[in-house]
Amino acid sequence: MISSDLYRIIQGIPKAELHLHIEGSFEPELMFEIAKRNNITLAYDSIESLKKAYKFNNLQEFLDIYYMGAHVLLHEQDFFDLTWAYLTKVHSQNVVHVEVFFDPQTHTDRGIPFDVVITGIRNALEKAKLELNISYKLIMSYLRHLSEEEAFKTLESSLPFKHWIAGVGLDSSEMGNPPSKFANVFGASAKHGYKLVAHAGEEGPSDYIWEALDLLKVVRIDHGNRCLDDEALLARLLETNIPLTLCPLSNLELKVIQKMEDHPVTKMLDKGIKATIHSDDPAYFGGYMNENYYETAKALNLSNDQLMQLAINAFEASWLDTEEKETHVDRVKVYFDSLNLLV
């Protein structure tokens, strides 16, 4: 298949994005614009020099730049603009449902009130629901390099807004910050009605995935690449149908894999794991949903059936209700049937 045909097929797939850090969708152009209006001087003197710094050897090198970028966000309007830019971009890629992470501590630790952050993000999500027909869930992520006590404070701050928040996640520097560190705050979050997910097995070992399942009791694993190291874990994931939200371009840029051909998604699909594809931090890793699907499909020579499976898995793994899931899954199937009629 020639590349433009593959891209066209991917463009047409109705897609769900389940692993996206809103701060990771901050494009350099918008970052400079917001920095200017907030009278903040960035450490880089131009968009070009900032983009040149986007070369990472591991997760921590990326996180250092990612947190720096987020420092220009001060006002509700800034959070709105950031989120709206992401939503209009993915709308153009036929993404119809998003489950978006935000990192409150990245902002509250700088003195930005929780309500400023969440109101800006939520207003953009609501506008997209009305104007772009994109449904959404909002997920508050605890930063794992900080203490559990600080996560508890964040949980407390979130409670007046809990009707806006579908669940909690766990992100930031994985090595040395195992899920077990956050078992109590995840338990408390569940008691408040939040659904639970966690990044695990991105750089960290398969033990961290076990901990996320057994101690945090998550319903999805973000990344989870390292599960292939562990047969018993694979059996557990299969038995419980726990989805993995994979991010191929992120894995490549953060050297979790050395080349796209090494990405584990095909092996996971072959084993029956509910693997899904997402963008993680698209402004930093060179692509949104279409590019993630495209680069993966090209490198691994994915068939239309595999692309369809990935798209269906994402809707099934989402937090939409059963009826909504079925509607989306049917649309994906109708789309692929229409392609087969053309052949």
- Which residues belong to the active site? 202
Partner that binds at residue 316, options ligand ADE, Zn ion, none, CB closer than 5 to 8 Å by kind: none
Q: Both tokens of residue 259? A: 């080349």
Residues of span 88-107 touching Zn ion by CB under 5 A: none
Which residue among 281, 291, 295, 316 contacts ligand ADE (CB under 6 A)? 281
What minimum distance in Å lies between the beta carbon of 5 and ligand ADE? 31
Summary count for the chain: helices (H), strands (E): 17, 8
Phi, psi of 15 (to 5 degrees): -125, 155
- Residue 172 near ligand ADE by CB under 6 A: yes
For residues 245 and 209, is the Cβ–Cβ distance under 8 A? no
For residues 303 and 290, is the Cβ–Cβ distance under 8 A? no
Which residue among 106, 157, 225, 250 contacts ligand ADE (CB under 6 A)? 250
Q: How many CB atoms within 10 Å of residue 343?
A: 5
Q: Would you report the helix, strand and coil content of the chain in percent, each value rounded to 5? A: 60, 15, 25
With tokens 């894995």, the residue in question is 251
Partner that binds at residue 59, options ligand ADE, Zn ion, none, CB closer than 5 to 8 Å by kind: ligand ADE
Measured from each CB, the residue nearest to ligand ADE is 171
Pattern 18-57, ligand ADE, x by CB under 6 A: ---x--x---------------------------------
Pattern 75-114, ligand ADE, x by CB under 6 A: ----------------------------------------
Report the distance separating Cα 95 and Cα 33, nearest Å.
26
Nearer to ligand ADE, 20 or 332 (CB): 20
Report the distance separating Cα 23 and Cα 82, nearest Å.
8
Which of 320, 321, 296 minimizes the C-alpha distance to 309? Answer: 296
Task: Give the C-alpha distances (Å, rounded to integers) separating 238 from 137, 156, 169, 231.
Answer: 25, 35, 22, 11
For residues 281 and 329, is the Cβ–Cβ distance under 8 A? no
Which residue among 23, 280, 291, 295 contacts Zn ion (CB under 5 A)? 280
What minimum distance in Å lies between the beta carbon of 170 and ligand ADE? 9
Task: Give the C-alpha distances (Å, rounded to integers) separating 15 from 149, 186, 271.
Answer: 37, 29, 22
* Planar angle of CA 271, 277, 278, nearest 5 degrees: 155
Partner that binds at residue 172, options Zn ion, ligand ADE, none, CB closer than 5 to 8 Å by kind: ligand ADE
What minimum distance in Å lies between the beta carbon of 201 and ligand ADE? 11
With tokens 């309500």, the residue in question is 115
User: How many binding residues for ligand ADE (CB under 6 A)?
Assistant: 11
Which residue among 280, 291, 295, 316 contacts ligand ADE (CB under 6 A)? 280
What minimum distance in Å lies between the beta carbon of 323 and ligand ADE? 32
Which residue among 17, 81, 99, 202 contacts ligand ADE (CB under 6 A)? 202
Residues at the interface with Zn ion (CB under 5 A)? 280
Residues at the interface with ligand ADE (CB under 6 A)? 21, 24, 59, 66, 171-172, 199, 202, 250, 280-281
